[in-house]
Amino acid sequence: MSLTSERPTDAATSEVRDTTDSGRRRRVARLIPARLRNAGGIEDQVDALTAGTFGGEVDRLRPFNPAILTIRWGATIACLALAAQSFVDRDLDVVAWTFAVVSYTAFRTISPIRYVGDTRSLLAVLGEVGLLTLAVTGTGYWSSPFVVSLVSAIMVAGFARGFGFALRISVVAVLAVAIPDAARAEYVWEIDGAVSLERAVILLMVSVIAGYARRISGEADAQHTLALDRLGRLADANALLFSLHRVAQTLPASLDFDEVLDSTVQRLRGLLDFDAAAVLIADDTDGTWHVARREGLRLGDRLSESELPGVLRTVAERRELVVRNELSNAHPGLAPSMGSGIYAPLTARGALIGLVSLEHKDERHFTQRDVELINGFVEPVALAIDNARWFMRLRTVGADEERTRIARELHDRIGQSLAYLAFELDRIVSAQARGAEIGPSLDQLRDDVRGVIGEVRDTLYDLRTDVSDNQDLADTLDQFIQRVKDRTGLEITLYADRGPRLPILQEREMWRIAQEALTNVERHAKASRVRVLWRCNGQAAALEIADDGAGFPVGRSGRLDSYGIMGMRERAASIGATLDVLSEPGKGTRVRCYLAPT
């Protein structure tokens, strides 16, 4: 966002930059708020991140230590299992090497190998390979229970120096075992040779895997180093970044429009010092501006474009922040007796949705820091206000649709029944005036009133029925179908999945479509059998309601509207589903709704 008018000077003082390694580490650490740094372990993480980037020795095996420890102990446990019989047979060579291997594993658990590229660390890696190779050659060569331990040694070599080194180590280890093994008198080339080849291939594959893992880690280290370098530069920024960070953390998460506006003004009050403030929201319907919040000034609830103060008209036209260091009669603000002001547009999704005005009695009150704070504040606030505004509109539309549906339910069922009762009462009154017998008619009327009461009860129950977090569509359909069967005698069969569910909003619209279709069958289809099918895997879904009723000619829009199919189509479209209605006079009707995976 650009800045027009006069820019105030930056009041913040500069500081001498610490270019030492420790100084850069401290600046990276300062990027983390103090309350998080003190939460435990953060300083150690900063040291771990900066180690090897700002100087000092780099332990190439450190990132792999958890994997090395797991592989090492896994191999040792496997060796113990393979050597169990030797303990029973009292094979002293195997027993001695078992204690040596377990002791070495325990030692390396406490003191892992560090590889920093010097001779000492190289000898540590080679020493591990040599020790475990001796354990294999001294206890039966390829039939030794310690062959598995060579896997961990070659993995360590690959993690330390990559492909080439791991391949050379594995070749040397294979030859160190295979050559003396082949020199034995009892060596059988057809059998022992195949075993040697198999073990050699396995160890070579292990070296390739370890080298590939090292290569991936190297690429990650390069990106890590670049990221840390950027962090070092960001650490030189002033404390304003922390203020903006706190603003972002405390932005309103509510979708209630009034809560968002109240939180916006409250947050502005915590960030800046001002004597008068206003938040104006654009009304897309008539082009006016709604004064949503005001403090310390008098403005009407709505302002037309021509009534908008000149400085706000400038902000709205340019969509740029404006600072007025000296308000006067020639360039007034929104409130009288104000000396300076800062005015910013609220833009979200490429559209201007509002304006913010902050004014103070003193001239030149707002500094460059205030400008940067507002620039960082208005964008997320505008998005929060726009989200809340759209949510308010959607909630209003949803309420209107629900009122329309309830009115239709009352008209189609209870309204017609009450009209019938009124006609019957008029007929009975007329019959009584003629002196006719009205006893049977009153008995029938009593039964009709009871029927209407039942309809009212069923209608209210149906209106309250809905899917929820605790009741899925299958259970809701089951309950509704049972009530329809009880009051109509229809034979309704339900086939429903009861596993994964759709998001609640999509599942709710699917339920309303099913409810509308079943209501149409009950009132208009003259059917005897109905089949309801519900299939859902959590991403895609299919709903089908088929009856054997009278059917109707598809394509006659008036008939479709009377059956509520247009409403079903709108509900399906609102969730990205497709609705098909297949019907033919005398052959029943089939309603299908498909929701494809996104």
pLDDT tens digits for 354-401?
999 999 999 989 988 888 888 888 888 888 888 877 776 656 655 555
Q: What confidence tier does 35 reach under pLDDT thresholds 50, 70, 90?
A: very low
Q: Is 41 exposed, middle or buried (0-12, 13-18, 19+ CB in 10 A)?
A: exposed
Q: What is the pLDDT of residue 14?
A: 34
Q: Is the pLDDT of residue 424 over 70?
A: yes
Q: What confidence tier does 27 reach under pLDDT thresholds 50, 70, 90?
A: very low
Q: What is the pLDDT of residue 102?
A: 87
Q: What is the pLDDT of residue 38?
A: 42
CB-CB neighbours of 136 under 10 Å: 24
Cα dihedral across residues 294, 296, 300, 306: positive or negative: negative
Q: What is the pLDDT of residue 126?
A: 86
Report the distance separating Cα 153 and Cα 207, nearest Å.
10
Rounded mean pLDDT, 450-472? 71
| Digit-coded pLDDT (tens) for 319-353 | 899 999 888 877 788 888 889 999 999 988 888 98
Q: Is the pLDDT of residue 403 over 70?
A: no
Q: Measure the CA dihedral 134/136/141/142, to 10°.
A: -140
Report the distance separating Cα 591 and Cα 181, nearest Å.
77
Q: Is the pLDDT of residue 531 over 90?
A: yes
Q: What confidence tier does 548 reach under pLDDT thresholds 50, 70, 90?
A: very high
Q: What is the pLDDT of residue 50?
A: 41
| Digit-coded pLDDT (tens) for 282-328 | 887 778 888 888 888 888 888 888 888 888 988 988 889 999 988 88
Q: What is the pLDDT of residue 528?
A: 92
Report the distance separating Cα 441 and Cα 428, nearest Å.
7
Residue with tokens 């309830």: 406
* Cα–Cα distance list, 100 to 91, 120, 431, 460, 507 (Å): 15, 22, 113, 80, 64
Secondary structure of residue 579 in the 3-state scheme: strand
Q: What is the pLDDT of residue 536?
A: 92
**Mean of per-residue pLDDT scores for the chain:** 76
Rounded mean pLDDT, 475-499? 89
Q: Is the pLDDT of residue 409 over 70?
A: no
Contact criterion met (CB below 8 Å) for 478 and 515: no
Q: What confidence tier does 40 reach under pLDDT thresholds 50, 70, 90?
A: very low
The answer to pTM > 0.85 is no
Report the distance separating Cα 201 and Cα 171, nearest Å.
10
- For the ranges 50-59, 152-161, 397-406, which has the lowest average pLDDT? 50-59
Q: What confidence tier does 544 reach under pLDDT thresholds 50, 70, 90?
A: very high
Rounded mean pLDDT, 407-425? 69
Q: What is the pLDDT of residue 395?
A: 60
Q: What confidence tier does 248 reach under pLDDT thresholds 50, 70, 90?
A: low
Q: Is the pLDDT of residue 465 over 70?
A: no
Rounded mean pLDDT, 152-171? 79
Looking at per-residue pLDDT, the higher value among 366 and 263 belongs to 366
Contact criterion met (CB below 8 Å) for 311 and 322: yes
Looking at per-residue pLDDT, the higher value among 41 and 542 belongs to 542
Q: How far is CA 15 from the centre of its chain?
A: 41
Rounded mean pLDDT, 133-139? 83
Domains plus CATH for the chain? 62-232 (no CATH), 244-395 (3.30.450.40), 468-598 (3.30.565.10)
Q: Is the pLDDT of residue 237 over 50?
A: no
Residue with tokens 């279709």: 517
CA atoms within 13 A on the CB side of 538: 2
pLDDT over 90, % of the chain: 11
Q: What is the pLDDT of residue 11?
A: 36
- For the ranges 58-67, 194-203, 346-355, 554-563, which has the lowest average pLDDT? 554-563
Q: Is the pLDDT of residue 472 over 80?
A: yes
Q: Nearest Cα to 597, choosing from 534, 529, 541, 527?
A: 541
Q: What is the pLDDT of residue 429?
A: 81
Q: What is the pLDDT of residue 255?
A: 64
Rounded mean pLDDT, 209-217? 70
Strongest mean pLDDT among 144-148, 197-201, 242-246, 555-559: 144-148
Rounded mean pLDDT, 205-228? 64
Cα dihedral across residues 452, 456, 459, 462: positive or negative: negative
Phi, psi of 429 (to 5 degrees): -60, -45
Q: What is the pLDDT of residue 561?
A: 45
Q: What confidence tier does 415 reach under pLDDT thresholds 50, 70, 90?
A: low
Helix (H) or strand (E) holding 494: strand 491-496
Q: How far is CA 475 from the centre of its chain?
A: 28
Rounded mean pLDDT, 79-87? 81
Report the distance separating Cα 157 and Cα 206, nearest Å.
10
Q: What confidence tier does 31 reach under pLDDT thresholds 50, 70, 90?
A: very low
Report the distance separating Cα 542 and Cα 583, nearest Å.
18
- For the ranges 250-259, 537-546, 569-578, which has the lowest average pLDDT? 250-259
Phi, psi of 427 (to 5 degrees): -65, -40
Beta bridge partners of 541: 536, 595
Q: What is the pLDDT of residue 439?
A: 79
Report the distance separating Cα 590 and Cα 281, nearest Å.
48
Q: Is the pLDDT of residue 495 over 90?
A: yes
- For the ranges 10-24, 45-59, 153-167, 196-210, which has the lowest average pLDDT? 10-24
Report the distance separating Cα 313 and Cα 335, nearest Å.
16
CB-CB neighbours of 112 under 10 Å: 18
Q: Is the pLDDT of residue 541 over 90?
A: yes
Q: What confidence tier does 406 reach under pLDDT thresholds 50, 70, 90?
A: low
Q: What confidence tier does 547 reach under pLDDT thresholds 50, 70, 90?
A: very high
Question: Beta strands 276-282 and 3-5: pairing type?
Answer: unpaired
Report the distance separating Cα 174 and Cα 153, nearest Å.
13
